[in-house]
Structure 1
Amino acid sequence: MKISSGLEQSIYVLLILSRVPQGETLSSIVISERLDVSHSYLKKIVKSLVHEGLVNSTPGKNGGFSISRPLNEINLYQVFTAVEGKGRIFNSQYLIKDFIEGTDNGNEKECVISQVMDTVEQKLRISLQSVLLSQILANIKDIYDIDKLDRWISDVVAEPAK
């Protein structure tokens, strides 16, 4: 299984926005420049986060984005579904019918592969739900000095809108 780069970008967008002072916003351009990622792709990601209620969007000249709730109320599964969608990660082609008899005669019972993948999907969901973004930020703080990030945010927020 391959998870898109959008998941990682989404996590960092949320972590950045969590450091922005209340009442302030950051533009998607500023965030994409900070992360050195495609602005058009990041805009799509942020739109998904807004749609799922994880990020607030403020329109206008001084508008931008802010986080909608504390990091301890956001888990990885919420971010995952915002970016990757809420559909199933595996959709069977139901090839069991051809595998067993070479034809679809309606006698097939269940797709064993679907059963296995349903279990995998359930375990993935449970694992992602168990990790809060506040835990990720705490782990980052244990390894890195995020004062540089906070200073950057302070500088960007202080700049007049162009």
Structure 2
Amino acid sequence: MQLTKGVEQGICIIVLLATQQSSAPLASDEISRRLGVSPSYMKKITRKLVVQGIVVSVPGNNGGVSLAKAVSDITLLDIIEAMEGPIRMYPDTGLISLAFQKGKYAQRGQELLRSVFSQGDRLLIEYFSKVTAADLLKEGLGMSDLPTLNWNRETLSDVIDKEQDDFK
């Protein structure tokens, strides 16, 4: 199983928004520029995050996108399901019954595979529901408090480097 690039793009959007100043929505054009995608494709990605309740779209000249809930309440499962739908590895097309003429062993094999993959789905769901975007950001940045900036005008490196210089 391989997730689509939409998951990675969704994660990038959450990182941008989690560190964005709460008073200033991040412009959709800025997000599409940073992700290297067209504005129309960016809207499709954002729409999936809006439907899942992860982000909100703010209309108007100074509008854009903001987080709908605290970054500590956003899990990897939320982002994966927003981009991919519910986790379900096994397609279960009924091929086993077709290939083995619906015999008792085909039925048993089909039930066994459903059970095994269902357990795998549950394990993935359990794991991804425990990993929050805040945890990943803090570990990735090596900081206990997330920096805030206005991505419409500055970069994360600019802000972190400035904070470190001010600390010295």
Same fold, judged at TM 0.5 (above) = yes
Q: Which residue of 2 aligns with 1:24?
A: 24
| Equivalence for 1:50 | 50
- Quick check: 1:10 aligned with 2:6? no
CA distance, structure 1, for counterparts of residue 37 and residue 107 of structure 2: 47
Aligned partners of 1:98, 1:91: CA distance in 2, in Å?
Answer: 15
- Distance in 1 (alpha carbons) for counterparts of 2:75 and 2:105: 42
Cα pair 1:53 1:68 within 8 Å, conserved: yes
Residues 83-105 of structure 1 deviation map (CA, whole Å, 9 limit, x = unaligned)? 101263322122332444xx236
Percent identity, please: 28
Partner of 1:134: 134
How far does residue 17 in structure 1 lie from its aligned partner after superposition?
A: 0.7
In the alignment, the residues of structure 2 paired with residue 35 and residue 108 of structure 1 have an alpha-carbon distance, to the nearest angstrom, of: 47
2:71/2:133 contact within 8 Å kept = yes
Q: Paired residue for 2:164?
A: none
Q: Establish whether residue 93 from structure 1 lines up as the match of residue 93 from structure 2.
A: yes
Deviations 1:67-121 (A, max 9, x none): 1111111110011111101263322122332444xx2368853412222211111
Amino acid at match of 1:39: P
RMSD: 2.5
The whole-number CA distance in structure 2 between the counterparts of 1:90 and 1:25 is 39
Which secondary structure does the structure 2 equivalent of 1:56 belong to?
A: strand
Give the number of aligned pairs.
Answer: 150
Q: Provide runs of 4+ in structure 1 moved above 6 Å.
A: none
C-alpha distance in structure 2 between counterparts of 1:118 and 1:41, whole Å:
32
Cα deviation digits, residues 4-51 of structure 1 (max 9, x gap): 011111011011111122231112211121232343332211110011
Check the 8 A contact 1:71/1:134 in 2, yes or no: yes
* Aligned residue type for 1:155: R
1:32–1:39: 8 Å Cα contact kept in structure 2?
A: yes
Query: Which residue is 1:159 aligned to?
Result: none
Q: What is aligned with 1:153?
A: 151
- Paired residues of 2:52 and 2:82 also in contact (CA < 8 A): yes
Contact 2:87/2:125 (CA < 8 Å) preserved in 1? no
Report the equivalent of 1:62: 62
Specify the alignment match of 1:109 in structure 2.
107
Give the alignment's TM-score, normalised by structure 1.
Answer: 0.80
Residue identity in the other structure for 2:73: E
